[in-house]
Each structure stands twice: as structure tokens, then as C-alpha cells.
Amino acid sequence: MSDNLLETVMKLTDEDWQGSNPLSPEFRANPYPGLKNLRETDPVNLSPIGVWRLTRYEDINRVFKNLPVAQTLADGSSPNFDPLDNRGDFSNFMLNLDGPEHLRLRRLVIKAFTGNAVKLMETTIHELVATAIKKGLSAGGMDICSDLAVDLPSRMTCRIMGIPDSDRLLFLEWAGARTKAFWARFLPEEEKHKVRSAGIALADYFEQLVKQRKKALGEDLISELIKAEEEGDRLKDGELVIQAIGLLVAAYETTIGLISNGLMAFIKNPEQRLILKEQPKLLPNAIDECLRYDAPVVFNWRVTRVAVVIGEKTLPEDSVIWLMLGAGNRDPERFHLPNNFDITRKDIKHLAFGGGPHFCLGNQFAKAEGIAAIGQFLSKAPNIKLRENEIEWSNSFFRVLKRLPVEFH
């Protein structure tokens, strides 16, 4: 893909994209009709920018688990990231590395996820959700996004990482800007500059935080990353900073999407809320159904290491593949009545967390937040009316709501 990608994309029509232009407001608001059409008419599709798009569940799962693919192109560059963005650089985050180096970093970071930082999570989540709902009930309504779905991940992430609450709003700004690094090659130069600036700010901040924790360890994720050891190997300071930034940004907007998208699905399908009320043990299954039905990650990417055959088409070596998870999660060959939101659904092996060696490390964090936030909200809130005309989607790489206002009756 060329560095003039934005200029190329802006000249393309929705017809060129076969109804699935990931940059269009219409796709962000509802990607599923376009993805359905693509899956039914051209499931292994060469897009107008030279990227292959896969839409069938089995094809996507095969790429994740069985085919020789990588995160980067043969020259070492990323198909999505800004090549001039080299501070707080995502290309050195473990999820964007391959082979032994990815495995080494993943093993060390996993050590941190099993320490004291994880134990802080449940108490923190329940406390924050209860406060947000209490405020909403007294006001007669709330914006689920700003009052809960954004507030919860930002406060919880700061507490777990040991970041003072006084710096939380600054982190909101940096994390929101930094998230756009996932599709920086599609951004105008002005936006790229904001993304780079956020990377510099986060790197500077975490460098100082790492220095502080090395002098006095605390009960937080940064301290656990410092202590993490595998056969005498530890994370170097630069690696610590990059992994911390990557974990922050990868978890932030995706958790917002899980909570807000999931609650919107329940509000639009009130019979499912009644089922959950009668069968509260279904809550973990319900969260998996939220992730299948309307996950915040609509597509992911991989690069072929050799030529591969998918369907009846041959994808050359070093081909960029967009794995359209939103299409795979609604594939009727895998899921019965896939466009129905059904929390009693069996065997929900969704694609929301990816698969294979790069399976999302924070999946248990995300599900725990979803269980706490969605479960408590539905159990405590009275009758809910959605103010549909005021719903607004954010301009993000992820499928994340910006506004989800509701009234309580």
C-alpha cells in the first residue's frame, strides 16, 4: 500500500468498496448490511486499495490459526501504522511482533497479568459502576457512553496502572488520539501529527512512571511488568514503556465499545433483558453474545508470508488481508439466525478477540468489565428508553459509540 493511501481512498466511491467502505460514516453506523453483501457475493475480495478482505468465519479462523501469516510486511513495515511515528511506537508492541520476539514479550507480560494488579480489578469495577448508575438514576437518565462506558475504563485503567486520578483526563485525551495509530496511514497529515504527539506524551509519562516504580514498587500493573521474569529474562525499560502504552490503548476504546454496544443491544432487545433477569447465570454467555453480535473490533489484519489459497483465489506472498470479524461473527454457516441477539445461544466461539498466537491478552479483563458494567446496569436500572435520534458513532478505527443517551421510567 502506498503512503498516498488517503488520497487514493478519497477518490473511491461506495460502489468501488462494494458497500463496505470502512472509512465511511454509513459503515461506522451499521457495517452489517454491506458485510453481508460482501460475504454472499465476493467472500474473498480484493479491495480497491489492493487489500484482500475475508468475510467467512472459517476462512478468518483458518488465517488466525493455520496459515503462515504475520503482522508486518516483508520489509518490516506495518500496513496500517505511520512509518514516521517512532515514539511510543506500536510496531514494537508485542501484538505487532511475530515469532520468538513476540513469544518472549507475551510470556513476560502474561506474568504481570497474573499478579496483584488483576486482583484490584473487580473491586474497582463494581465501585465505579455503582456510582455511575446512582447518578444516572437520580438524574432520570444518562449518556451511557460518557457517564459509564468511557468513565469506567478510564478510571479503572488508571487505577490498575498506578496513574493518579488527577492525570486521568489527560490520559483520556492521549489515549483517544493514540488509538488512531491503528489506521494512521488513512489519516490526513494534521491528524497524524496529533497521533505522533500523543505517542510522545505517553512515552514521556510512562518513562517517568517506570523510574518511580523501580525506586518503590506498588500494587499496580507497571510494578508487575517490572517484576515479571522468565528464566532470568526481564523487560528492558524501553520495552516496558511500549508494552504499557500498547496495553492502555488496545484496551481503552475496545472496552468502551463492549459496554456501550452491548447495552444498546439489550435496550433494543428488551426480551433478552427479561431472560437475563430470570436466568442471571447466563450473564457470562450474554457478554460473549454481545461480542459476537456487535463487537468493537470490526476488522483486523494479517500479512501472508507465502502465497496461500483461500476459497478459489490465490493470495500472493506479502499480501495484506483484512479479516472482517464483523462479517465472520454473523456468518449463517457458523451461527444460527446470526442477525438475532440471543443470550441463550450455545457454543459462541466468536472472533472478537482474534485467534492464534496473537489472541487478545486482555480478553479476561474485557469480559470482567463487561460482566460488571452490563450486569449491574441491567439489574439496577428501571425501564429504559433509548433516545435514538441522538445516538452518535465516533470517528475511530473501532466500532465505538460517542453518544448513547437514555431515559429512565
Mind listing the pLDDT tens digit for each residue in 324-372? 999 999 999 999 999 999 999 999 999 999 999 999 888 888 888 899 8
Q: Is the pLDDT of residue 124 over 50?
A: yes
For residue 7, name the pLDDT band (cuts at 50, 70, 90). confident
pLDDT of residue 187: 84
Q: Round to whole Å and give the CA distance between 89 and 85.
A: 6
Which amino acid would we find at residue 18?
A: Q
Average pLDDT, the chain: 89
Residues 6+ away with beta carbon under 8 Å from 398 = 179, 182, 253, 254, 257, 296, 297, 298
Work out the average pLDDT over 240-260.
Answer: 89
Buried b (16+ CB within 10 A) or exposed e, 111-136: bbbebbbbebbeebbeebbeebbeeb
pLDDT of residue 4: 62
pLDDT of residue 2: 47
Q: Is the pLDDT of residue 208 over 60?
A: yes
Work out the average pLDDT over 184-210.
Answer: 89
Q: Is the pLDDT of residue 201 over 60?
A: yes
Q: How large is the C-alpha radius of gyration of the chain? A: 21
The phi and psi torsions of 192 (rounded to 5 degrees) equal -60, -40
Q: Is the pLDDT of residue 94 over 90?
A: no
For 310, the domain range is 5-408
pLDDT of residue 114: 63
CATH number for the domain that contains residue 395:
1.10.630.10
Q: Is the pLDDT of residue 1 over 50?
A: no
Q: Is the pLDDT of residue 120 over 70?
A: no
Give the global pTM: 0.93
Q: Round to whole Å and give the CA distance between 174 and 169.
A: 9
Beta pairing, strands 313-315 & 69-70 = unpaired
Residue with cell 428501571: 382
Beta pairing, strands 52-54 & 320-323 = parallel
Q: Which residue has the higher pLDDT, 209 or 251?
A: 209
The phi and psi torsions of 219 (rounded to 5 degrees) equal -100, 70
Residue 210 and residue 99 in contact, taking contact as beta carbons nearer than 8 Å: no
pLDDT of residue 119: 61
pLDDT of residue 88: 67
Question: Lowest-confidence range among 125-139, 276-290, 335-349?
Answer: 125-139
Q: How many CB atoms lie within 10 A of CB 17?
A: 21
Lookup: cell for 273: 433483558
Q: Which residue has the higher pLDDT, 182 or 387?
A: 387
Residue 248 and residue 135 in contact, taking contact as beta carbons nearer than 8 Å: no
Question: Lowest-confidence range among 40-49, 264-273, 292-301, 363-372?
Answer: 363-372
Q: Is the pLDDT of residue 115 over 70?
A: no
Residues 6+ away with beta carbon under 8 Å from 196 = 82, 84, 85, 87
Work out the average pLDDT over 89-99.
Answer: 81
Q: Over pLDDT 90: what percentage of the chain?
A: 51
Domain total for the chain?
1
Buried b (16+ CB within 10 A) or exposed e, 327-339: bbbbbeebbeebe
Q: Closest Cα partner for 350 from 329, 330, 366?
A: 329
Q: Round to whole Å and give the CA distance between 304 and 67.
A: 8
Q: Closest Cα partner for 256 from 148, 358, 330?
A: 148
Residues 6+ away with beta carbon under 8 Å from 14 = 21, 24, 26
Residue 224 and residue 366 in contact, taking contact as beta carbons nearer than 8 Å: no
Work out the average pLDDT over 369-379.
Answer: 89
pLDDT of residue 218: 87
